[in-house]
Chains A and B, each alone.
Chain A
Amino acid sequence: MTAWQHDGKALAGAVVTVEAEAPALPAPAPAHATMDQVNLSFVPDVLVVPVHSTVQFPNSDVISHQVYSFSSARRFQLPLYRGKPYPPVTFDEPGVVTLGCNIHDNMLAYIVVTRAPYFGRTDAGGKWAVPNLPAGRFRLRLWHPLLNEPLEVERLIDAGAAEALVEIRLARPLRPAPLTGRPHSWDY
């Protein structure tokens, strides 16, 4: 598939999930992922994991963080002090979990928890592909943190023996990306 922004530029970093409508496919195996804190930013900015996955939250900064989520898919709060490892957080419900830091308001990241057997993020060219998609009917969803329209873009795909090609172009421009290069010591 290829995703385009409203202005025709490639949409990079979009989260794509493909769920089987018929026949049903088993959910993917849970993963063990990491969401780090580096130089007052979450790394990565977006993480996609299957349901029941665990995510470790280390803190690579010398200062403390207080990571929280009040998203319905997973509510938690985690004080991350330097050199003090915490047990990983398990994500059992599908949905978008928005992460913040209670000390540093400009820190923002997302964990997308999915039941879909196929998932990933578009590359710099807006492309993402599933090799060897079996024949069947699938629901493709696309999400991006700066999406300005419906929270998700959906397409139904009928995949046969031939390649199923999907092109998505956003109906509206993305929201402005977070500012970069502003000193962290400034008030947000």
Chain B
Amino acid sequence: MGLLTRKRAICLAAFLMGTQAQAAEWELALDVRAVSSDGRESFLDNGQGKLRFDDDHEGIQLGRLRAAWNQPLGEVFSAHVEASTWDDDDKNPIDLTEAYVEYRPYPRAGLRSRLRLGAFYPPMSLENRAIGWETPYTITPSAISSWIGEEIRTIGLEGQVDWLGTRLGHSFDLQLTAAVFGWNDPAGTMLSAHGFALHDRQTTLFGRVGAPQTNPEYAAKELFHEIDDRPGYYVGAQARYLDRAVLNLLHYDNRADPTVELPSIRDFAWLTRFDAAALRIETQNGWTAILQALDGSTYIAPGGYWLDWEFDSQSALVAKRVGAHMVAVRYDAFNVLFQHDPAASGSEDGHAWALAYSFDRGDHWRFAVEWLRVESDVPTRVELLGEPAFARESKLEFSARYLLSGSF
């Protein structure tokens, strides 16, 4: 689907480019890390560790190499493509994280509609607001955003209507969103396999979550497949007070048939539903507060026998920006309950603290340092790995990112 969209977009671009002198915009970003970590074997290597870089991945690491392209197609259409490499054992050395065509007509009478077709993130994270769906506050996003980046992508059609109240002399803007999508039926499989994790690695559209599965009976960790031919949907609403406060609500249901299996990836259609709420408040003197909450469930029914994982997470972030400097502290709590039994293998209970400082030097450089501690109680560790259920994992990470951008 994403590939189809991209090909179509490129054809359309070639057709329209000669007619209008509009600027295509591109970005190229290299993010290099220096990592000190005592993390358990990472979920990216089929372990039960919560961090992207475990104690076998200390030292200099590639954070992300990212290329983005935004191509106006005529006046109200545009195509956007995001490609990344994460330098781990993913299927493809470089792959797409998002690729879509957007239709954004001019507003009329205070209302504006917008359509997106392709592969993109649902409008959910008020934290991941920087380019490349990154968070500007920390290196590692919250458990909620980490999970969205890992398992969730809209591959379909999304429509939005904005009421631009602030353009009509009011203090509020409102937005309604609805989408239908497919090709995301495995969403939930990683949550059941290793629970929540805290990482900035976004699963690519044609890739998988890290290293290949070592156990041939386990699912292939590929998220973007259509399994049951049933489209999912989400609906959302957003209210804004001037440019100071945003409240975002989303209800998501992939409407999967949990009895259907896709043998090629040894995975089921996971029936995943969740509600998400987020609130962001900013002040003129540089303070930002972001509260996020996620509550949902996921099911599979192999042979008609229903297996049930319930999950929830909450996050609170406070940041203070002074000029080009920013300090942020965040707390995350997360919980997965398998078959209503906290001691069952597949359940977990954990929380995390992050403390970060970042500094933007001009338009090109961003430097950040982050301390992250995750404490989690995961009964699966005993059964699968013979490790203690409880783990306290800490990481100190330094990031230097160089961004080049331009237009032509």
Residues of A whose CB lies within 8 Å of any CB of B are: 62-64, 66, 68, 70, 77, 79, 81-84, 98, 100, 102-103, 106, 108, 151, 175-183, 185-188
Contacts and interface: CB of A to CB of B under 8 A. Distances in A.
A66 B22 contact: no
Contacts of B20: 81
B169 A183 contact: no
Given A176-B242, A176-B284, A70 B107 contact: yes
A63 B407 contact: yes
If over half of B's interface residues share one DSSP class (helix, strand or loop), that class is named, otherwise mixed; here it is loop
Contacts of B104: 102-103
Contacts of A188: 243
Contacts of A98: 167-169
A106 B72 contact: no
Contacts of A63: 23, 25, 407
Nearest to A151: B169
A156 to B, nearest CB: 24
B129 A186 contact: yes
Given A82-B407, A179-B284, A183-B360, A108 B109 contact: no
A175 B21 contact: no
- Per CB-CB distance, the 6 closest pairs between chain A and chain B, nearest first, are A187-B129, A77-B106, A186-B129, A68-B106, A98-B167, A81-B22
Contact of B284 (A81, A84, A177, A186): A177
Number of contact residues on B: which range applies? Answer: 20 to 34
A64 B22 contact: yes
Given A100-B167, A102-B107, A180 B284 contact: yes
B93 interface: no
8 contacts: A70-B167, A81-B21, A84-B21, A102-B104, A108-B166, A178-B242, A186-B130, A186-B136
Given A64-B23, A177-B284, A70 B109 contact: yes
B284 A182 contact: no
Given A151-B169, A182-B282, 6 more contacts: A66-B106, A68-B107, A81-B21, A82-B407, A102-B104, A185-B131
A188 B240 CA distance: 10
Contacts of A77: 106
B323 interface: yes
A70 B108 contact: yes
Given A70-B108, A70-B110, A179 B243 contact: yes
A83 B21 CA distance: 9
B266 interface: no
Given A81-B23, A186-B136, A188-B243, A62 B407 contact: yes
Contacts of B243: 106, 178-179, 188
Contacts of B131: 185
B106 to A, nearest CB: 5
Contacts of A106: 243
A64 B321 CA distance: 29
Contact of A176 (B21, B25, B106, B244): B244
A34 to B, nearest CB: 21
A178 B131 CA distance: 22
Interface in B1-58: 20-23, 25
A182 B169 CA distance: 23
B167 A66 contact: no
B164 interface: yes
Nearest to B112: A102
B92 interface: no
A103 B75 CA distance: 11
Contacts of A66: 75, 106
B282 A64 contact: no
A106 B129 CA distance: 14
Nearest to B241: A176
Interface string B109-145: 1101000000000000000011100001000000000
B388 interface: no
B59 interface: no
A179 B106 contact: no
A42 B109 CA distance: 21
Contacts of A183: 130, 136, 360
A84 B20 CA distance: 10
Contacts of B169: 98, 151
Contacts of B21: 81-84
Contacts of B242: 175-176, 178
Nearest to A78: B106
